Amino acid sequence: QVQLVESGGGSVQTGGALKLSCAVSGSTYGYCMGWFRQAPGKEREGVAVINTNGGRIYYGDSAPGRFSIAQDNVKNMLYLQMNNLKPEDTGTYHCAADRRATCVYGVGTWVNHLDAWGQGTQVTVSS
């Protein structure tokens, strides 16, 4: 059973940066591992995903050029580096896993086929 624990959230001003970390336990080979966020009253939004079978990366519409996902298989960690943060990036960020590798169909599909996710870490960006 995959378990995920996020850390690294916080409060920053517009233009700031944060690096989120996710400690992964359990076997995730062949999974699509990534991050989604959710703001109050809004639906889940896929941010970035990596296909552990091959390493291909997929980004959501809000991420390209500002966010970067990475994994460390030795430490069993997943990371999300977020730069040039904007107030609309505010939300709870969750690390998540999909064993069926639906990220090949895009981040929007992946976020609706999750098998496990963590409790999340809050990111608040003030203007």
Beta pairing class for 3-7 and 77-82: unpaired
- 37-61 residues labelled b (16+ CB within 10 A) or e (exposed): beeeeeebbbbbbbbbeeeebbbbe
Please tell me the distance from the alpha carbon of residue 70 to that of residue 50, in angstroms, as a whole number: 8
Lowest mean pLDDT among 21-30, 40-49, 60-69, 96-105: 60-69
Q: Please say whether the beta carbons of 24 and 78 come within 8 A.
A: yes
pLDDT beyond 80 at 64: no
**For residue 102, how far is the Cα from the chain centroid?**
15
Per-residue pLDDT, averaged over 66-82, amounts to 96
| pLDDT classification of 63: cutoffs 50, 70, 90 | confident
| CA–CA distances in Å: residue 117 to residues 18, 28, 32, 65, 79 | 20, 13, 12, 25, 14
